[in-house]
Chain A
Amino acid sequence: MNGIVFLKAAYAVSWIIYLGYLGRILLRMKKVAAEREELDRTIPRNAAPATLKRSAV
């Protein structure tokens, strides 16, 4: 009878850790996607890429 508590605890811990970790990965992916979107929005406003020109010497 005592053993069942441990059994339940083991399965519960496993579910919590696996699903929790999955949630964490997905949350981070969402954050990265949001940051990327924000960055892409600001880029068109920037000047064209700087080019290196030889000095006229």
Chain B
Amino acid sequence: MKKLATISVVLVAALLGITSYLGLAVAPTEQTMGDVQRIFYYHVPSGWVAFLCFFINFVASAVYLWKRSAGSDALAAASAEVGVVFCTVLLITGPLWARPVWGIWWTWDARLTTTLVLWLIYVSYLVLRRFAAGGQTQVLAAAFAIFGFADVPIVYMSIRWFRTQHPSPVMGGGQNSGLDPAMAHVFLTNLAAFTLMGIVFLVLRYKLQMQEHALESAHAQAALKGVA
């Protein structure tokens, strides 16, 4: 356990360090936005990991409803939490980037609003897991996860349409359009590093979930034995 803790801390810190260095020192300065643009090297990879986690949650929940295995439920719980963490970073770094560059903290365009709604849905998933009583938690949460994920494309399309009707400031047009090769290199490296970091978090959180589950069962077993 000690070893696992030290390895993971070192690994995560190293990944954060490398990505920061790449993003802050190695990447060339952007033409129009200046140095603030460097937030991009943290912002987009965080988002990518978050959405990946939410997708994993959807698949794990579906598998749980089908197979009812402890592993799939643990993965669903872990991926939802890790996803929310990365999505939180996404939602904080976004406005921090937007304010100096476009002058506004936030706008209700399709992408931002969908991200916010996604965050809201998975936070409510976590709240549901916390507040559900006893053995039904996993089933209820898994059912809710299906709803949440099915809702996302609908949310996106709705707001896209809403915004063609009621246009408002658009931010960050195409970060990937015409990326200078030096920047693309840093971006892709950071993307890989963040994915790796996400996997580390996911594996740890999964283990924790399984351990807590095993502990609960062990308590129940001990109580039964005590009643001999």
Prevailing SS type, chain A contact patch: helix
21 example contacts (A-B, Cβ-Cβ < 8 A) are as follows: A2-B100, A6-B39, A9-B96, A10-B92, A10-B93, A11-B20, A11-B39, A13-B96, A14-B42, A18-B89, A19-B13, A21-B85, A22-B8, A25-B201, A32-B215, A36-B218, A39-B219, A46-B225, A46-B226, A48-B225, A49-B225
Interface-located stretch among B116-124, B163-171, B203-211:
B203-211
On chain B, the residues within 8 Å of A28 by CB distance are: 208, 212
Contact with B along A27-57 (1 / 0, CB 8 A): 0111011011001101100111110000000
State the CA gap A21–B92 with chains docked (Å): 16
Judge whether B58 is part of the interface by a CB distance below 8 angstroms. no
Judge whether B99 is part of the interface by a CB distance below 8 angstroms. yes
Interface residues of B (CB under 8 A from A): 1, 4-5, 8-9, 12-13, 16, 20, 23-24, 33-36, 38-39, 42-43, 46, 85, 88-89, 92-93, 96-97, 99-101, 197, 201, 204-205, 207-208, 211-212, 214-215, 218-219, 222, 224-228
Selected from A2, A15, A25, A47, the residue in CB contact (under 8 A) with B225 is A47
State the CA gap A33–B15 with chains docked (Å): 27
Interface residue range, chain A: 20 to 34
State the CA gap A49–B25 with chains docked (Å): 63
Selected from B38, B43, B207, B228, the residue in CB contact (under 8 A) with A49 is B228
Chain B: minimal CB distance from A42 (Å):
7
A39 to B215, Cβ gap below 8 A?
yes
A7 to B226, Cβ gap below 8 A?
no
B228 to A15, Cβ gap below 8 A?
no
Selected from A7, A36, A39, the residue in CB contact (under 8 A) with B36 is A7
State the CA gap A15–B89 with chains docked (Å): 9
Q: Which residue of A lies closest to B213 (CB)?
A: A32
Chain B: minimal CB distance from A45 (Å):
10
Whether A36 touches B225, Cβ cut-off 8 Å, given contacts A3-B34, A10-B92, is no
Whether A11 touches B42, Cβ cut-off 8 Å, given contacts A3-B100, A17-B88, A36-B215, is yes
On chain B, the residues within 8 Å of A49 by CB distance are: 224-225, 228
